[in-house]
Every structure is written in structure tokens, then in C-alpha cells.
Amino acid sequence: MYNAKPEDKFTFGLWTIGNPGADPFGTTVRERLTPSQIVEILAEVGAWGVNFHDNDLVPIDATPVERDQIITDFKKVLADSGIVVPMATTNLFSDPAFRDGAFTSNDPKVRAYAIHKTMRAMDLGAEFGAKVYVFWGGREGTETDAGKSALDAGKWFREAINYLCEYNIDQGYDYKFALEPKPNEPRGDIYLPTVGSALGFIATLDHSDMVGVNPEVAHEHMSGLNFMHAIAQAWDAGKLFHIDLNDQKIGRYDQDFRFAAESIKQAFYIVKFLEDVGYDGSRHFDAHAYRSSDLEDVKAFASGCIRSYLILKEKAEKFNADSEIQGLLAEITTDDGSMSQYVGQYSSEKAAALKDYGFDRVELGRRGQPYERLDQLVFELLMGVR
Amino acid sequence: MYNAKPEDKFTFGLWTIGNPGADPFGTTVRERLTPSQIVEILAEVGAWGVNFHDNDLVPIDATPVERDQIITDFKKVLADSGIVVPMATTNLFSDPAFRDGAFTSNDPKVRAYAIHKTMRAMDLGAEFGAKVYVFWGGREGTETDAGKSALDAGKWFREAINYLCEYNIDQGYDYKFALEPKPNEPRGDIYLPTVGSALGFIATLDHSDMVGVNPEVAHEHMSGLNFMHAIAQAWDAGKLFHIDLNDQKIGRYDQDFRFAAESIKQAFYIVKFLEDVGYDGSRHFDAHAYRSSDLEDVKAFASGCIRSYLILKEKAEKFNADSEIQGLLAEITTDDGSMSQYVGQYSSEKAAALKDYGFDRVELGRRGQPYERLDQLVFELLMGVR
Amino acid sequence: MYNAKPEDKFTFGLWTIGNPGADPFGTTVRERLTPSQIVEILAEVGAWGVNFHDNDLVPIDATPVERDQIITDFKKVLADSGIVVPMATTNLFSDPAFRDGAFTSNDPKVRAYAIHKTMRAMDLGAEFGAKVYVFWGGREGTETDAGKSALDAGKWFREAINYLCEYNIDQGYDYKFALEPKPNEPRGDIYLPTVGSALGFIATLDHSDMVGVNPEVAHEHMSGLNFMHAIAQAWDAGKLFHIDLNDQKIGRYDQDFRFAAESIKQAFYIVKFLEDVGYDGSRHFDAHAYRSSDLEDVKAFASGCIRSYLILKEKAEKFNADSEIQGLLAEITTDDGSMSQYVGQYSSEKAAALKDYGFDRVELGRRGQPYERLDQLVFELLMGVR
Amino acid sequence: MYNAKPEDKFTFGLWTIGNPGADPFGTTVRERLTPSQIVEILAEVGAWGVNFHDNDLVPIDATPVERDQIITDFKKVLADSGIVVPMATTNLFSDPAFRDGAFTSNDPKVRAYAIHKTMRAMDLGAEFGAKVYVFWGGREGTETDAGKSALDAGKWFREAINYLCEYNIDQGYDYKFALEPKPNEPRGDIYLPTVGSALGFIATLDHSDMVGVNPEVAHEHMSGLNFMHAIAQAWDAGKLFHIDLNDQKIGRYDQDFRFAAESIKQAFYIVKFLEDVGYDGSRHFDAHAYRSSDLEDVKAFASGCIRSYLILKEKAEKFNADSEIQGLLAEITTDDGSMSQYVGQYSSEKAAALKDYGFDRVELGRRGQPYERLDQLVFELLMGVR
């Protein structure tokens, strides 16, 4: 039970399983795994795919020859394991060159280098058949707003994405771009901090059809926002191109906890939403094991992400099949159709009639909704006691 | 010094000066002021305009005759005082009818009533010459996501705004609509929680040109987001139609503190941004005095909002004129132009050349930026010691 | 199943079931219930006790005769229903007199009035046999630190509690006092904001043995703190005299949600802690139904609090009986006893030996702990799938 | 102006100036400075003292001979520069051995090693004349509460501190111990998360007189707590043994920003409090420069911390000398003495008289306080425009 199937499209990043456990207050505690070792673990836990930043696979200072050898070797590992590469991305944050950002660095040479590095990383991803290309602008931001113009930064960011969209077309890569918002850390404030702001930004791009979002649970939770609402807005706009599943407490450092480790109800609504609407992209777990974990526990972490998703998927099916819950929902959303003649597509006549309609607001205000009862049923369904 | 002029366009809501000091744990402590008394205070402190929800001026149960008398009387008060009405809005949250939201209530009758009430309130605002119409969807949200479909809610919200845009055109009101985001309170989670999400939503509207945002400092601060970044994105998109200036601590109940009462640096960057870009809309103070204040102190509160803005405006001018600061900025953003041939408008040739360009990333990473020095200069400029 | 028994000691406040649904943005939506109606509901859902603020039962302007009649009537209601009154408290926040606090108001007359009102409320509670007396200093705080000395406020607060401890002794009431911390709302910052700060304060009192804490889940969650850790510290200090069970999201307005409505894992650890240590005080639900609820839904809310506690109590029993979990815990906390000769009660010899001991820190650092595996088992146990 | 004097007692840690700019998403960007280079910078910016963790000075794997040489060399550097060492502390968090905590690790050998390492670090600090010994329990906590007993952890923590207090006495070191609270990061939840919880814990120690707190601005801000209130409580309890001055936004990762870089008003009240009460301990800046800074900018950062403190100290003096502000304060706290006969030291007679006193609560509730006016005056004083 709760074993992954390829059609579940569970993916991990090389950097997630491979995380060696360093943090701002301590050194690495686990040995670094090779990409090949990581893929072995992924195959073992039932993952469908693996994603990477360019430098997760190819060191930043690799020679072209080394690069080619790494690619050849990794393709073989993938072929042997059956693991695919649905998504690729660029590391634009680790190297000191990006200490003030990449596409929005105040240094024009760094901005150009960031585009240069991204084109090369897009080439790399394309070699592995990746179809989604993620942009996480982790250092696109500020600690002091005295030193960088938010308008210029927005303009630079747009120019970079526009340029790379053209490159995508030019090379025939057919990538869908997915912007990944985050509010802060490692910068004091990061540009495009929320899923909403990314959606707003996309509307200003030259090729806005090519660009969507890669929402991450933990990143919206950092701001205390409702993640399911965020992905619903993205879905409504046709922009949910990828998703990063993990977890964390509101208002904290970037925790990247195991999916559903913290916010069980939210995780349930996330899974339910994805399954109900028929999202068919990757379920990518952008999380890592605790620093206290050893390698065995890293595997338990990976397999836990998958199991929790599948357990919650089963709960979502039960929710949809539960007659008491569905009865309450029918009652809650009941519509006698009497208002439909006044609303919907506008006309002057409708508006006039609606303005004259004699609403009994006191009566409207008397009607309560059984949301406590419904919410308690959800709790009990989640607990497995109904 | 620091006295308001009409061209500063300082405005207050009737509900701000008129706030009688109730909160969830206590009753009102100040006598309710009439709209006329409020306008007197506004004139006294130098405000340019006054804004209102429909029911701030006309009680929800007023007869048509009472309504007309109130309008006549209030027009006279305004004419006498010289105070204008640049913005109007609808109260879609106080009445029990809206206990589950207005445009997104699960009850179709409530949704229709919300549109009905808004059309009437638009009529009211138009009688006073208001040119901006604000939508604050305070109860458009949930406490439990079991009971309301986020997709349906988004659809209903869009239908309502589309309908009202048509009504705006139909009546020739020429309103600009301004959506006011808020993440939570009084609902557990409110739809369109951030400026970004409102911008994303606007892109899906039939008349997206007619609709912009009304960002409120405190609402973004509730989520810990950088407000200046938010209004920069709105400005960049041509969507900064109105602004609500106030303050509050991150991650708290809705405090609506006096502008700059809490976040002095952020307030400085907000004022600097508005003045630098030439924003010419209202500077609306959506704040209220502490519950501990008496009427004299309410006046001190109102006049404090204005004075703080003007003091910070003067600081912004000093920042722009400070040669050490400007020298640092020139150094920070220096551009020798050598990259311009590779970036900007895309071409295959440029991209190829850029991909081949030999960046010295180690050298790029060596360059630090004097942001600490700059930020300290800002601190000292704000403190008045340079 | 999951029906309350008296020995579970579930209690509610008159103000919780009786909450009429007003909030800062809207009026009441439910009819006010009489104390007698509330007790009926409590009996119906299986509560053991009811708690009250003085003015929940006796209006602030009641005459002595009215007061006595109310007491007589309510005693009869209680006798008929079998509901007891284990806790009482004072409303020191609703009346405008307390707009700047009660024991820490800058007005010495208000400070004296607060003590006067508390003594009378202690008399009232004693008439009903209450044995715990709660102090929630909801307005003991500031919005601006310019206007009140934190040192004076601390001194005034201590003097008031010392005085009331003496009154308790003098009257032979035998109350245990329980201080209830909260970080903010309705004040910008409230004194004694956390369980820890209350414990620190208690250590400075004349009768510190008489005074403990009344931790509230939602209040610690507002600050993002771990509530179970907080009550563990209180328990360790012998100070867990009462507990307020409810729920809320981190970093938000005071939500007072149904227990376990938001933070399922935290609620599990809270229940597990209380049951494991044998806490035998009231399980008090200081929560209220959503504003959208009607009376039926208020009952569902009340019964949901109780059911969720009992469901989680059953989960805690399963945790303690789960051999895989207990096996992991044994492994995690294994102790070969080899260190016991160096630690524990200090001696110079031990310290010298310990300083000379040759620790192999590299070896110590190699040992990971299976916390991911354990945490996943807890998730699956909670979900009812193991 | 704003130059430090020795009596200002400004100190920095070796780890603050020496921070090489790594973060969870990027490598170091600045060259590591030797302790001697750091002391040179400190002398240059006018610091009085330098503090260190054992391994800031002596590498964890140094031989006894290397250790002695380092000590000899560093003593010379200090003597030459005139910089003193007022505080020392232990690094119980960087090494993998401490991945599950130190005094509260589930591994008894790690717990013993932590005490062993602390005794040796106390010896080291004593060699340099340090008189305050700080305990920051950065990894004393959990990510999952399934795996560690909060009660056991509290007991182990207490045993460790009790043991080390005895060692302190035994060796005649005369250290004052200062516990430094932090709510989270690098652990999900850290024990003793707030100043208050540390004060509560201290009350349970064998030598509670020997132990106080080392509050850090940023650590309380992470939880959104009012830092000045926290140090006032510590001062009131006689426990303010040390202080860490820095800054950060509420609800974020550990930012360690330059003092007053973010929360200007709070910084003002902190400085005013310390100066008003005559705190005579170190003003320790536990902060570091932005990752974008180069060495010049690190110096600007250090000197900025000092200048900001001195600027705010001058503001505090102005506040105390401002007749309008002092007049308002006198009005706010006015006391006609009429209540003094009822309160203060308890007696049955006083209590009886107070219970009978006829308070006019309506009248009490009419009195407002001019807090908005006062707060605005503070803003203007801070801005240097009065």
C-alpha cells in the first residue's frame, strides 16, 4: 500500500536527497552522494524522475570534456534505473559572483553572466529531455532598499526572462518556464515574493504564454499564506506548470521539511486540489532530511514524502465519496437559480433589475453555514476514525 | 513647516477619524462623530479629501428620502470646507448578510446582493465626483477550505468585477477600480491576499485596463512582505491607482497604526518611491487612533500621519541631494557598457556571443558592494545627524 | 465513542459557547444566549464544567439585589445540570475604564479599581466553589513605549498579584492563581507575553507557590512558539494550574479556533503530554465557533473540541503501545551508563575525570537519529493507517 | 562625534567581524580573518572588548601545544591593542557531534562531551579574564517532538548548568552565567525560546543567583516579541548580565543585521532603557555584515553599530530633556495620591475599604491618554526635526 507508481510522477532534486546536512551553524554531517547514488535511492523509493540545477550534475569549474563525460555517465545511470528528468534549473545563487543577485545584480556583468549561465544550463537540461525549466531567483533582492532600484530590478528581471524565452524558441527546446517565488532568505527581501506576484509579473512578459509558476509550499508558508489558494489562482490562470511539495512552519527560516510533516490539513487540501483538477505535472518534493538523519533516515524521509502524498490522496477520495460530507456541501452551495437572471453576462436591463431587487438582508444574515461541522468531519476523516 | 497643501493630496476615510475605539475585547470608548464633524477635523489638519464606504455616510437602512437629505447636507459640508471626495467604496463586510463573504459567498443570493449594493454605492460615490472605486474583499475567504471551492470563488469574484466594470462603462462613471488585498482577518484566509495576487487576478479580467490596486502598508506587513517592492511592481504594471498609508508590526492582528509609527525605514522608502516616480493619486491614510486616545489625541493622530509623510518627503529630497550617497550609488550601479552588445533585444547572434563570452566568475565574485555603508548613511540621514 | 466523561474534566467558558459572532469588521450575528442556555448546551455535549468572567454572569451595572438573584438562579441551573464551576476570572478589559490596562494602567485610580473589581469577582467565583482563579491581562501593555514605564508596569502588576494573594489567604478561598500570557491583541504588546515570561514573573512574587500559569495554545502560537515545550516547562516547575485548549495559525489575529482545527500534530503532542504526565486539572476549551456558524454549528463546534481531544488521546495511547515506535525510541535514547560516573551530582573528582576523558567527537558525530522515520510513523498513526 | 569611548563598553565577537559570508545557499565570499586581524579592526572602530567561542580562537582539533601558543599570541595582540575579553562562550553547535543538541542530546555521551567541552572553554575564557560566560543552546531542541522528551531535556539542561555552576565555584572563576534564548534555527524549535522562558528556568536552578540572561534583539524579534519589555523583565529580576545588540525583521530567518538597521524605534527604546537604568555591562554587537559586503564594508558595518548606538543615546538624552515630552509624561502618570491608602502592602482593613470604594467607572473610562501625540513627538525627535 502507498507505493508510488510512475503515473504518480513523483520527483526529487539531486540536491534534496543529496543534501549533506550543513546549515548556518554547522558543517556537513553526511557524506556527499554522487548523482548516481542519488538516482539509486530514488529508484528504490519509487520516484519517477529527478531534477537538477546545472551544478548539481556538472561542477561549475568542469572542463567541456569533463562535462560531456558526466552527461554520458548520467544518461546511462538514468537509462538503467528508468528515472527521467522532467525539470532542470540553474544555480544562480551559490557562487560568490551572485552575492548581489543574478538577473537583478547591480553589476551589469553579473547580469550578463547569469543569462550566459542559464542558456548553458538550458542546453544541459535539454540534453536530458527536461520540459519544464524552473527559475528560482533566490538572491534577486535586497537587504537595504537604498542600494537597488526595485523598478530597475523588475525591468532587468523581465529583460532576462524575455531574452531566455527567445532563446527557448530559437533553440526549439519547447521548455515551459516556471518561476518559483520566495519571500526572503537568503536575501532580506526577495523580488517576486509570492505566487501572486509571479503571476502579476508574467502578465508583463513578451511571451507570457510560455511562462508559469512553480509554487513551493514552504515558500508561501513563510509568509503565512494559504498555499492551496495560491495554486488555485495559478491553475485558474493556466499557469501551474510545476509544484514543489514540502512543508514548514509559518514565519521561520527555510525549513524544507518532509511533505505534510507540519501542516497536515493544508497538505490534504493541496493533494485534494491537485487530484480533483487533474494536474498532470510532476509532484516534486523539494525537501531534505533533518541534519540529525543518517543515510537510512534520508531514505525514510524520501519514502515518507511519497507515502504521505498517497495517504492524503486516499483521504481525498474518501472525502469525495463521503455522503455526509457531500450532503453538507450540497446544502452549503445550494442554488435555487432565482438570481441567475440578474447576474452573469452584463446587460443594462439586468443591472437595472438587480438594482431594484428587494433583498431581505436581515433574512440573508440569519443563514449560518455548517462549517464547524464540516471541518470536524474532515478532521475525523483525516484521523481515520470515520 | 510640515503643513499639508492640497497638492499633497492627503485623504482620510470617514471611518478612520470616526473610529470610536471598539475592538474584539472592548466596547466603543469615543462618541461617534458625524460625517460633518469628521470633515471639520480633516479641514483643520489640512487634508485634501475624504473617502467613504456607502454606509459610513448613508446608514444601511436609510430610506431614499433620508439618503437624499444626507447627500444634500454632506455636499454642503464639503463645499464649505473645500474637502473633496476622490474615492468611494462599499461596505460588504459589516452586515450579517456577508458573514460568509460577498462576491464569493456560497449563497448565490448574497453574491447578487453584493453586486446590487455595490452598484448603488457606485451611484453614491459618483454623486460626489469620486474617480477611484475601491474593492476590499474583507470577508472573501475561508476558515476551512472544506466548505468553499477556491476555483469557484475566483470565478465568482471575477464575474462580479467584470459585471461592475460594465456597469461603470454603462453609467459613464469613469471610475478606476482599485482592488485592496489583505491576507487575513476577519477571515482565516482571504482570497487575493497580496498586491501580487491582485495583479495576477487583474490579468484575467475582461476590462483589465480599468482595474488596478489599492495596496495598504499594513496588509502587506501582516505577511511580512516588503511594501515598497509591492508598489514598485504595481507601478511598473501601470496599476497603482490608489494607496493606503498606515503601519503595523509583521505577523499581527490588523493594527492600522499611524503612518510611520512602526516601520520608519520602510515608510521612508515608500514616500521616496511615490515622490520619485511622480505618483499623483491620493495619499490616503487608512489608520485610526489608539483605543486609549480621546478626541484631542485623534487629531494629533491625524496630523501626525500628515507630518510624518512630509518629514519623510523632505528626507527623500535630502537623500537625492546627498553627494556622498549619490556617489556611492553611482559606484554601485556603474556600467561600462561592455555587456550591452550581448543583452537587451534578443538575437541568435547575441545569444551565441554571450554563451561564448569568457566570464571570470572568480573576479565577479570578488566585488563587494558598500551596502552597509550606504544603509548606515540612510540611518543617519533619517536621524537628522547628517 | 469519543463521548466525554466527567473525569475528562472538559470545561468551556460562558463566553465561548455564548460568543455572538461580532468581530472588528462586523456586528453580532447570533442571538445572545443566557448563562442558563449555555449550561444546557454544555450538558448536552458532555462538558464537566463551566467557567466565567464576573460580567459573563453578573452585568457590570447590576445592583446587589440583581446580583444575588442571578447567583441563586445560576446555582439552580448548575445543580440541575450537574455542571460545576472549577475556574473563575475577572473581566478587566471590556469596559472603557480599562482602555490603558487594569493593574498596569497609568491611572492609579484605574489600578485600584482593577483590584477592587477582582476582589469582588473572587468573591463571586468562591460562591460557586471555583478553585482556580485566572488572570488574563489583556490590556496590560502598550502601543507606544514612550508612554509607560515597563519597570513601573511590572512593579504595579506584582503589587496587585501580591495584594490579591493576601486577599485569597485572608478570605480562606484557597484559590490557585493562574496567569494567562498573551503576546499582543488587543494591545500592541502585552506584558508577560509568553508562558516563560509568566514563569519568570512568578519567581518574583511574595507568594509564588500560590501562583502558576494558564497557558493557551493560540496565545503561544501567535508568537510561533512550541506550546508543548511551554507546558512542559510549566509542568516541570510545578506551575501548570490550568490550560486553555484551542488553536490558531502562527502570526495572526486571535483566532480562538476549535481545538486541533489547525495544528494537528501539535494538538497530538499536547494531549499526549497532558495524559502522559497525569495532569488532572480542567481541559478548558477557550475557543468559539466561526462567525458563519448558526446555533446548530456552535454545538458542532463544542462537541468537536471534545471529540478531537478524545481522538487524540486514543492516538497517544496507540503511540505508547506501538512496538515499532517504542523500539525506535528505545534505540534513540539508549544509554550504556558509561557516562554516569562523570555527570550528575558535581564533585571535583568527577569534573577532573570528565575533563580528561578522551571523547571521540568524530565518532559521536557519525551517529544519526531516525527522527524522520519516527516522525513519519507518527504521521501514519495520526492518519489511522497503522 | 559619535566616537566610542572605553566606558561605552562596546564589544564584538570574533565570529561577527570575522564572518566570511557563507549562508545556506552559498559559499564564503570573504577571506577568513585571523583573530589578530579582527582585533585590529575592533581597535580601529573603537571597540572596548572582544568575545569568543572556544573554537573561534582555538581550533577544535588543536593540540595542547598549539592551544598554548595561540593563547600566548592572542594575549599579546590584546595587550598591544588595549582590547579586553569580557565574555566567553562555548561552541556547542558546529561540530557534527552536536547534531541533536549538546546538553540535551539524546545521546548521553554527547551530553557528557558538552559538559567536558564547556569546562575546558571556561578555563580558556578565564585565562583572558572573562567575567561573563554565555550559554547559547542553539541545537537544544527538536524538529519532531516524537523523538525527545521535553521534560527529560529540561532536566538534562538543568543538570548541566548546575554542574557547571559548581565547577565555576570550585575553580574560583567567579563567572556570571548568561543564558541566551532563541526560538528556532537551526532547530525547528529550541528549548528556552524567549527571555521569559530563560528567567523561568533560572528559578529552578541550584545556584540561580549565579545565572542570568543574555537577551539578543534579533532572537526576540524572530518571535515578534517586544525586546525592551523582555530586558525590563530581566532587569527587574536582577538578571540582565549581558546583552546582544543587533536587529532583524519579525518572523524570519536569523538575520543578525547591524544594530538599529531595521527597527529604529525599538532600538531607541532599548538604548534608552539601558542608559536610564544605568546598565553597566557590555554592549555586545552580535551581528555581521551582509554577504554582499567586502572588507571595507565590514568595517562600515562595525562602525555603524557603534555610531547608531551613540546617536540613539543622544536621542534618549533629548527625550529626557524635552519639556513638552516630559510635560505629557507628567500628565499621563499623574497621581493625586488618593488611592494610596487602599493599595500597597495588604491589610484586611484596606481590602475591605477598597472593596467598598465607590468607583465611577464611567468617569474613569472617559479619560483618554495622549499617546498618539507623545508617539508622534518621539518620531519627530528621532527624525531630528525638533
The pLDDT value recorded for residue C325 is 98
- Shortest distance between the Cα of D299 and any Cα of chain C, in A, equals 32
Edge-to-edge, what's the strand order for the sheet holding A49-53? A211-213, A176-180, A132-136, A87-89, A49-53, A10-13, A283-285, A244-245
Q: Answer whether residue B52 is part of any domain.
A: yes
- Chain D hits for B304, Cβ within 8 Å: 372-373, 375-376, 379
Q: What is the pLDDT of residues D167-208, one digit of tens each?
A: 999 999 999 999 999 999 999 999 999 999 999 999 999 999
pLDDT at D234 over 90: yes
- Chain C hits for B288, Cβ within 8 Å: none
Residues A297 and A334 in one domain: no
Residues C224 and C316 in one domain: yes
Q: What is the pLDDT of residues B69-89, one digit of tens each?
A: 999 999 999 999 999 999 999
Q: Answer whether residue B1 is part of any domain.
A: no
Could you tell me which chain D residue has the CA closest to the CA of B293?
D368
Q: What is the pLDDT of residues D43-52, one digit of tens each?
A: 999 999 999 9
- Chain A hits for B233, Cβ within 8 Å: 150, 154, 197, 200-201
When scoring B372, B376, B380 by the number of chain D Cβ atoms within 10 A, the one with the most, hence best to mutate, is B372
Residues A165 and A102 in one domain: yes
- Shortest distance between the Cα of B382 and any Cα of chain D, in A, equals 6
Residues D351 and D221 in one domain: no
Give me the mean pLDDT over the D66-72 stretch. 98
The pLDDT value recorded for residue A51 is 98
Q: Confidence band (pLDDT; 50, 70, 90) for A307?
A: very high
Q: Do D145 and C335 touch (CB under 8 A)?
A: no
Residues 6+ apart with CB under 8 A from C347: none
Q: Examine the residue annotation and report whether D53 is marked as an active-site residue of this protein.
A: yes
- Shortest distance between the Cα of A74 and any Cα of chain C, in A, equals 29
Q: What is the pLDDT of residues C158-200, one digit of tens each?
A: 999 999 999 999 999 999 999 999 999 999 999 999 999 999 9
pLDDT at B1 over 90: no
- Chain A hits for C385, Cβ within 8 Å: 1-2, 311, 384
Q: Do D379 and B250 touch (CB under 8 A)?
A: no
Q: Do C100 and D369 touch (CB under 8 A)?
A: yes
Residues A94 and A120 in one domain: yes
Q: Which of C287, C302, C320 is the last residue of a domain?
A: C320
Residues B288 and B257 in one domain: yes
Question: Choosing from B8, B23, B53, B242, which is the catalytic residue?
Answer: B53
Q: Answer whether residue B95 is part of any domain.
A: yes
Q: Answer whether residue A1 is part of any domain.
A: no
Residues D192 and D167 in one domain: yes
Q: Which of C298, C320, C342 is the last residue of a domain?
A: C320
Q: Which amino acid is at C257?
A: F
**Displacement of CA B73 from its chain's centroid (Å):** 29
Q: Do B228 and A155 touch (CB under 8 A)?
A: no
Could you tell me which chain D residue has the CA closest to the CA of C193?
D225
Q: What is the pLDDT of residues C48-69, one digit of tens each?
A: 999 999 999 999 999 999 999 9
DSSP summary character for residue A131: -
Q: Do C367 and A294 touch (CB under 8 A)?
A: yes
The pLDDT value recorded for residue B269 is 98
Q: Do C99 and B143 touch (CB under 8 A)?
A: no
The pLDDT value recorded for residue B29 is 98
| Ramachandran sector of residue B266 (left: φ over 0; alpha: ψ -120 to 50; beta: rest) | alpha
Share the mean pLDDT of chain B. 98
Q: Answer whether residue D216 is part of any domain.
A: yes
Q: What is the pLDDT of residues A181-208, one digit of tens each?
A: 999 999 999 999 999 999 999 999 999 9
Q: Do C143 and B290 touch (CB under 8 A)?
A: yes
Residues D53 and D18 in one domain: yes
Q: Which of C285, C304, C320 is the last residue of a domain?
A: C320
- Shortest distance between the Cα of B297 and any Cα of chain A, in A, equals 33
Q: Confidence band (pLDDT; 50, 70, 90) for A1?
A: confident
Q: What is the pLDDT of residues B206-251, one digit of tens each?
A: 999 999 999 999 999 999 999 999 999 999 999 999 999 999 999 9
Residues B12 and B63 in one domain: yes
Q: Do D296 and B368 touch (CB under 8 A)?
A: yes
Q: Answer whether residue C142 is part of any domain.
A: yes
pLDDT at D270 over 90: yes
Q: How many domains does chain C have?
A: 2
Q: Which residues of A are catalytic?
A: 53, 56
Residues C229 and C345 in one domain: no
Q: Which residue in D252, D297, D375 is closest to B373 by CB distance? A: D297
Question: Choosing from D53, D221, D242, D284, which is the catalytic residue?
Answer: D53
Q: What is the pLDDT of residues A18-70, one digit of tens each?
A: 999 999 999 999 999 999 999 999 999 999 999 999 999 999 999 999 999 99
DSSP for A188-201 reads: SEESS-SHHHHHHH
Q: Answer whether residue C72 is part of any domain.
A: yes
Contact status, residue B354 vs residue A163, Cβ threshold 8 Å: no
Q: Answer whether residue C280 is part of any domain.
A: yes
Give me the mean pLDDT over the C1-12 stretch. 96
Range of the domain at A72: 6-320
Query: Which pTM was predicted?
Result: 0.98
Which contiguous run of DSSP H or E holds residue B236? helix B227-236
Q: Confidence band (pLDDT; 50, 70, 90) for D1?
A: confident
Q: Would you state the cell numbers that stand for residue C290, as one nine-digit string?
A: 466561526
Quote the ipTM score. Answer: 0.97
Share the mean pLDDT of chain C. 98
Half-sphere exposure of C358 (CA within 13 A, CB side): 0
CATH number of the domain to which D179 belongs: 3.20.20.150
Q: What is the 3-state secondary structure (H, E, C) of chain D?
A: CCCCCHHHCEEEEHHHHCCCCCECCECCCCCCCCHHHHHHHHHHHCCCEEEEEHHHHCCCCCCHHHHHHHHHHHHHHHHHHCCECCEEECCCCCCHHHECECCCCCCHHHHHHHHHHHHHHHHHHHHCCCCEEEEECCCCEECCCCCCCHHHHHHHHHHHHHHHHHHHHHHCCCCEEEEECCCCCCCCEECCCCHHHHHHHHCCCCCHHHEEECCEHHHHHHCCCCHHHHHHHHHHCCCECCCEECECCCCCCCCCECCCCCCHHHHHHHHHHHHHHCCCCCEEECCCCCCCCCHHHHHHHHHHHHHHHHHHHHHHHHHHHCHHHHHHHHHHCCCCCCCCCCCCCCCHHHHHHHHHCCCCHHHHHHCCCCHHHHHHHHHHHHCCCC
The pLDDT value recorded for residue A95 is 98
Q: Which residue in A249, A264, A369 is closest to C264 by CB distance? A: A264
Taking the CA atoms of D284, D289, D294 and D297 in sequence, report the sign of the dihedral they define: negative
Residues D351 and D270 in one domain: no
Residues C359 and C293 in one domain: no
The pLDDT value recorded for residue D103 is 98
- d(CA C343, CA C337) in angstroms, rounded, equals 11
Q: Which residue in B106, B333, B359 is closest to A369 by CB distance? A: B106
Could you tell me which chain A residue has the CA closest to the CA of B120?
A355
- d(CA B98, CA B88) in angstroms, rounded, equals 19
- d(CA C287, CA C260) in angstroms, rounded, equals 11
pLDDT at C1 over 90: no
Cell 482592488 locates to B179
The pLDDT value recorded for residue D65 is 98
The pLDDT value recorded for residue A384 is 98
- Shortest distance between the Cα of A91 and any Cα of chain B, in A, equals 13
Q: Do C184 and D224 touch (CB under 8 A)?
A: yes
